[in-house]
Amino acid sequence: MSRLFPLAGLLRLRQIQQDQAASDLSAANARARESTTRQRQARIALGVTSTEVTSTAVLYAIAAARASSRSMLAELQAVDSQNRSRLEQAETAFATARARSIGLEKLEARHDHTVVSEELAAEQAALDEVASTGWFRNKGEVTP
């Protein structure tokens, strides 16, 4: 292709922005999965704790452990909520970046198609000119 797409620089910028948004989305997904896993593991750990009370000291220890665990679960839920919010923001940012790229990609495809069509038309015109002009081998003259 002889002519470059005039918005190639902008398209490249949009693709870089899209790649960055995809990276951010991937990181947000990883954080969300990690916080969900930590929360699930904490709930499992709480489910297997012993509830056998043999003295008042053990009872106080169990009550303190449960209060601490509830506090930890509340923190994990808050972190999970923040991660879900960040994930939604990252999904929105990626969708926006992708939409910006798609429009320019379509323009580039249309430009490329136009350039190829023009090159083929020019080549066909040259071939038609050569075919319509006959050369005499002996005289080297052009016939009308």
DSSP letter, residue 53: -
Query: What does the alpha-carbon distance between residue 46 and residue 40 come to, in Å, rounded to a whole number?
Result: 10
* DSSP assignment of 27-73: HHHHHHHHHHHHHHHHHHHHHTS-----SHHHHHHHHHHHHHHHHHH
51 vs 42, 55, 67, 68, CA distance in Å?
17, 12, 14, 15
Write out the two tokens for 122: 């020019």
Per-residue pLDDT of the chain (144 residues; tens, 9 = 90+): 458 999 999 999 999 999 999 999 999 999 999 999 999 888 888 777 667 788 898 888 888 888 888 888 899 999 999 999 999 999 999 999 999 999 999 999 999 999 999 999 999 998 888 877 754 444 455 455
The reported pTM is 0.69
Class of domain 8-136: mainly alpha
